[in-house]
Amino acid sequence: MRIGELSQRSGVAIPTIKYYLREGLLAPGTATAANQAAYGDEHLRRLRLIRALVDVGGVSVAAAREVIGALAREDLDPLELLGVAHDAVTPRRTPDRDSAEWAAARETASALVVRHGWMVSTESVGLDLVADVISALRSLGVAEAIEQLDRYADLAQSLAAFEVAGVIARDDPARRMELVVIGTVLGEALFAALRLLAHQHESAVQLGYHPTENPPGPATKG
Amino acid sequence: MRIGELSQRSGVAIPTIKYYLREGLLAPGTATAANQAAYGDEHLRRLRLIRALVDVGGVSVAAAREVIGALAREDLDPLELLGVAHDAVTPRRTPDRDSAEWAAARETASALVVRHGWMVSTESVGLDLVADVISALRSLGVAEAIEQLDRYADLAQSLAAFEVAGVIARDDPARRMELVVIGTVLGEALFAALRLLAHQHESAVQLGYHPTENPPGPATKG
């Protein structure tokens, strides 16, 4: 198909497609004439993946390029690709990590992982992110959330167990790798959105709204 | 205390504190002399809250101002404040929502909520965010994730149930409102980080790494 049809079928504007081509997120089409190229279903599929990562998953274009580059590499095993996908969804924020309080929070995070018998690298960025939250909660005097760490960890593991099982069940290795990326990024967006809805529900229930009443919803966005 | 001590104890640079004062995130101190003010423990506490929201929770300064302004309003009930907190963590991205595919995904999201008996506003932004993910998954041909929607919803509800119970257990109303905000924002960051660690663990387990081996961790960031 020509670039116009690719644009129409993917819903991505032509200048954006050209930008992805220049940036290497999208492989060049097959040249059919000077200044003209043909694109196939693989291009359409790749465009949809880019848009899902960027528009729905909130991944930057730079991080999306990393992930898509990693997908093309045949030497990466699934755990290595998972690391790249994790990097793509890891916030770029860098809170202060030099304090003694942060170091203590990092110890709490490591102890949590040991307690749950999780096989994770001691260098894992995830441990730093957990420590960021623990450190912030302590600075705010919110002890109860820290007492609940194990419940958070149990639920995260339940979620990860079925997410990973779904990926591994795939026969096609290329598709499996793609699912590692899609699952990491879109699974997070899905769970976060459902958690917000569940908060509304649980708040209504636990504050004693009767199911037939219409609880006040949150402000909607324009 | 003077602004210098406030800076030292909070770890926030003086120009940043002045910016928060100008922007109304932080109440003015008590004037002690021309061009000099005294700050109290409430200022320190508020600064820590702002940093937790912005640095750890990834909330924009503008959204943090909204949330902190809402905290000061005595006419908001907890559900209304929850709506404001949700808005603060809701991504500003706006994927294409005009297609028939998106409308169908929105129907799937509504049906999910009805199936789980959740009391949520039909206008809830959370429903739009769930629809964004469902629509993206369908466009990528990832049907299994959609079959798992109910498991995602069950886990989100388990998480929300104990998060909300922890907030409601608080006696002090002002503190309870603060916890709505802290819990919404930091709880999401905590769960997302733990999910990444649990993915590493479950991948190692389900791919058959032996617990005594050292599975390859993801690339660490500099």
Residues A40 and A110 grouped into a single domain = no
Q: Is residue B193 part of a domain?
A: no
Give how far Cα A188 sits from Cα of A114, A185, B129, B199, Å. Answer: 24, 6, 11, 12
Is A138 at the interface with chain B, CB within 8 A?
A: no
Higher pLDDT, B31 or B222: B31
Residues A112 and A175 in one domain: yes
Which pair of structure tokens corresponds to residue B122?
């039909």
DSSP A142: -
Give the model's pLDDT for residue B222: 37
Total number of domains constituting chain B: 2
Residue B174 included in any domain: no
Instruction: State the smallest CA–CA distance between residue A221 and chain B in angstroms.
Output: 7
Q: Which residue has the higher pLDDT, B215 or B109?
A: B109
Are residues B118 and B156 part of one domain?
Answer: yes
Q: How many CB atoms lie within 10 A of CB A49?
A: 22
Residues of chain A where predicted confidence (pLDDT) is lower than 50 = 219-222
Q: What is the pLDDT, as a whole number, of residue A194?
A: 96
Percentage of chain B modeled with pLDDT above 70: 94
Give the percent of chain A with pLDDT over 90: 53
A36 shares its domain with A93: no
Is residue B21 one of the residues assigned to a domain?
Answer: yes
Chain A residues with beta carbon closer than 8 angstroms to that of B145 = 166, 182-183, 186-187, 190
Query: Which residues, listed in sequence order, are joined to residue B30 by a DSSP beta bridge?
Result: B38
Query: Which helix (H) or strand (E) is B26 found in, with range?
Result: none
Is B190 or B175 the better-scoring residue by pLDDT? B190
Model confidence band, residue B129 (pLDDT cutoffs 50, 70, 90): very high
Contacts with B, A 34-73, CB within 8 Å:
45, 48-49, 51-52, 55-56, 58
The answer to the question of residue B185 being in a domain is: no
Q: Which two tokens stand for residue B141?
A: 């041909």
CA A14 and chain centroid, separation:
26
pLDDT at A219: 47
Confidence class of residue B214 from pLDDT cuts 50, 70 and 90? low
pLDDT digit string, tens, across residues A91-142 = 777 778 988 999 999 999 999 999 999 999 888 889 999 999 999 999 998 8
The predicted structure's pLDDT at residue B177: 85
Whole-model pTM: value is 0.88
Domain of residue A172 covers 88-206
Q: Are residues A102 and A38 in the same domain?
A: no
> What is the predicted pLDDT for the residue at B221?
43
CA distance A54 to A203: 31
What's the pLDDT score for residue A171? 80
Strand partners, A31: A37
Q: Mark whether B100 and B164 lie in a shared domain.
A: yes
B35: domain CATH number? 1.10.1660.10
- Compute the distance between CA of residue A195 and CA of residue B180 in angstroms, rounded to an integer: 13
Do B76 and B105 lie in a common domain?
Answer: no
What's the mean pLDDT when you consider all of chain B?
88
A212 in a structural domain: no
Is A211 within the bounds of a domain?
no
Beta bridge partners of A36: A33
Reduced to 3 states (helix: H, G, I; strand: E, B; else coil), residue A194 is helix
Does residue B204 sit within a domain? no
Q: What is the pLDDT of residue A212?
A: 54
> Mind listing the pLDDT tens digit for each residue in B41-64?
999 999 999 999 998 998 888 889
